Structure 1
Amino acid sequence: MSAEVVGTGSESRFRSYLRLGKFDVYDYYLGILIVASAAPQEPATLLLFLLGEVAVIVAGVAFDDITGFRDGSDLVNYGPDDRLRKKLRKPLVAGTLTEAEALRFAWGAAVLGALLWAAAIATAPHSPMWTVVLLVVVLAAALQYSYGLKLSYRGFQEVFLVVLGATLVLAPHGLITGQFSGFVLVQAVLFGMGPLMFGVYSNTNDVDGDRAVGRPTVAALTSRRGNARFVGALSAGEFLLAALASLSGIAPWWFVLLMAPVAVLRAQQFHLGFAVCDIMRARKLGFTAHRTCVALLVLANVLVVLG
């Protein structure tokens, strides 16, 4: 049974659809800049892939909102008692869209995304089987993340966020070059860590709502101290990956030094979230850390090309 709508909204339907698709959160889409800096030869394929990933992610977040509305968790996390969350960001909770409208929007975006990715594969100079399989699996998982099989309700949320981000770098790079690169894999995982770090801070803030509906995020399954250790380990692991890549020769020796500013931002983010206990400001700082990471990864590829 659908949860009762809390409040009504005066926004236009178009603006509400933009909110449902979270078009203002573009950080997943930045991965295409990393690919373009490493393999810029096929702009048409890159554009088709980018448009496809926008549609797929829009579908996924819309389905997530539909499920959060149905199970009541968004009513808790974005309800009138939460001063840190704007209810209008959830059109179903705010009453600016109906559930039927949201479903049509989500399925339309899903179909469009699948068609655009198929077009990207068709126009690519290479189509190694691993890239095609990876895209099919990620497409299916994105649509089942909170809807259908509800993978995020079965303990796969944190893993999926990293895998999705990494795929958005690995797959288009494979389609353009026909190759698998260890250095690009490192960059892909570092890119995927950005959305994961948004997620773990959001989950820390939303722990009561997630526990109420049985959504098993790490924050919901552990104590506050246990969750803080988990987030701290992720923050440190991001830097260690860059360090190991430099030490092993997968990445240039200077790569770890180039990525040091991201480690500094992660330390500040952790302090803000778990020492100052301002989780939402810490989450916001995560966007700065992720965008800094993307800029540095693009710079790394430019430096490699320049020799």
Structure 2
Amino acid sequence: MAHHDLPAGLPRAAAGRAEHRLRSFARLGKLDVYDYYLSILVVLAAVLLPVARFDRPTATMLVVFLLGQVFVIMAMVALDDVTGFRDGSDTQNYGPDNPLRNKLRKPLVAGTLTEREALGFAWVTALIGALLWAAAVTLAPHRPTWALVLIGALFVVSLQYSYGLKISYHGFQEAFLVALGVVLVVAPYGLAEGRFSGFLLVQGVLFGFGPLMFGVYSNTNDVEGDRAVGRPTVAALVSERGNAVFIGCLSAAEFLLGAVASATGIAPWWFVLLMLPATALRTKQFVTGFVRGDIMRARRTGFRVHRLSVALLVAANLLVGSGAAG
């Protein structure tokens, strides 16, 4: 992640020459933040073994679903940038008073793209994403109704996250981030296997905690901008101490979910132990943010936690699939 902002007061025309337009579109779609797309690795690990049963239609469906996921999420974050630019929150959060944020990551604020270009990008990527997800459903070995409903709902809600209905402006931002992770795990699993799995649901929630837990640290840093535009994140609604308690409770809940799943038999007994490295790193994230007071470094640690969690979830599914761990 770059750390060099454009100088304060740089004219929009000069900012627009700072980088190639395609790079600006890639930034608008947040293609460098690939963490949402790691869900497909969790699903692949859950359906891969035994290899003799893993067929080409399933593999093709997973690839097409992933491509659709990339385009839908690009549309979602582009619309989020349009709204953040219109209401002024991005201008404040990425302005000269916040030198830790790289203005080029927000092409509308930097002036490297126009609002019309951003909207066009969002609607084109949304359409491509919809077509790819429809193709994935057509190619899927199974089409359980619940999976189709989840995919359709996620598509509609994603486009309304910060635009249109502006769901994230009505107090549902944190819940949506977890729900996003859940659907991106359980829906393609349903298309591949034709059944629901409680263990995959647990994994979906844990996957959703990744975006949630770097999202809440971002919200902590952006609290003044969000309050100014009436975006009701938890950080904006409660005191600094209350926000710290909230994030501490989320961190504990992540561990407890795995512990309860192991204790009740939804997950293997060893699952909570396997996830302990992620729990330890999550604890370090909290200490960095709220004991040492370095919120942005804690946010970066959140990406490491998420990627480690995905690796551990993949390992868990491969162990279950191979029968190596009872």
TM-score range, shorter chain: over 0.9
Instruction: Give me the whole-angstrom Cα distance separating, in 2, the residues matched to 1:133 and 1:183.
Output: 20
- Residue 31 of structure 1 and its aligned partner are, at CA, apart by 0.4
Matches within 5 A, 1:1-307: 7=12, 8-9=15-16, 10-40=18-48, 41=54, 42-307=58-323
Tell me the amino acid that sits aligned with residue 101 of structure 1: E
| In structure 2, distance between residues paired with 1:274 and 1:43 | 43
Q: Distance in 1 between matches of 2:29 and 2:257?
A: 32
Q: Deviations over 1:71-110 (max 9, x none)?
A: 0000000001211100000000000000000000000000
2 CA distance for matches of 1:96 and 1:80?
A: 17
Offset from partner CA, 1:26-84 (integer Å, 9 cap, x none) = 00000000000011331100000000000000000000000000000000000012111
Quote the offset at 1:24 in angstroms. Answer: 0.1
Give, in whole Å, the separation in 2 of the partners of 1:137 and 1:276: 40
Distance 2:309 2:79 in 1: 28
Q: Compute the RMSD of aligned alpha carbons.
A: 1.1
Inter-partner Cα distance in structure 1 for 2:81 and 2:143: 34
Q: Which amino acid aligns with 2:214?
A: F
4+ residue runs over 4 A deviation: 4-7
* In 1, Cα distance between equivalents of 2:193 and 2:134: 17
How many percent of aligned residue pairs carry the same amino acid? 66
Find the aligned partners of 1:186 and 1:109 in 2 and give their Cα distance. Answer: 30
> What is the CA–CA distance in structure 1 between the aligned matches of 2:314 and 2:26, rounded to whole Å?
28
Q: CA deviation at 1:199?
A: 0.6
The amino acid that maps onto 2:270 is W
Number of corresponding residues: 304
Aligned mates of 1:274, 1:160 — CA distance in 2: 24
Structure 1 residue 5, shift from structure 2 partner: 9.5
SS in 1 for 2:138: helix
Per the alignment, in what secondary structure is the counterpart of residue 164 of structure 2? coil
Deviation, 1:306, is 1.5
Deviation at 1:302, TM superposition (A): 0.7
Distance 1:225 1:141 in 2: 31
User: Do 1:5 and 1:93's aligned partners in 2 also have CA atoms closer than 8 Å?
Assistant: no
Tell me the distance in 2 between the aligned counterparts of 1:86 and 1:78.
7
d(CA) in 2 for partners of 1:89 and 1:144?
22
Shift of 1:235: 0.3
Which deviates more, 211-220 or 39-48? Answer: 39-48
* 2: CA distance, partners of 1:306 / 1:46: 21
Q: 1 CA distance for matches of 2:305 and 2:31?
A: 20
The gaps in structure 1 that reach 5 residues or longer are none
For residues 113 and 151 of structure 1, the distance between their equivalents in structure 2, rounded to whole angstroms, comes to 20
| Counterpart residue identity of residue 83, structure 1 | P
The answer as to whether partners of 1:20 and 1:61 remain within 8 angstroms in 2 is yes
Structure 2, unpaired ranges of 5+: 1-8, 49-53
How far apart, in 1, do the equivalents of 2:102 and 2:190 lie? 39
Q: TM-score, normalised by structure 1?
A: 0.98
Query: TM-score if structure 2 supplies the norm length?
Result: 0.92
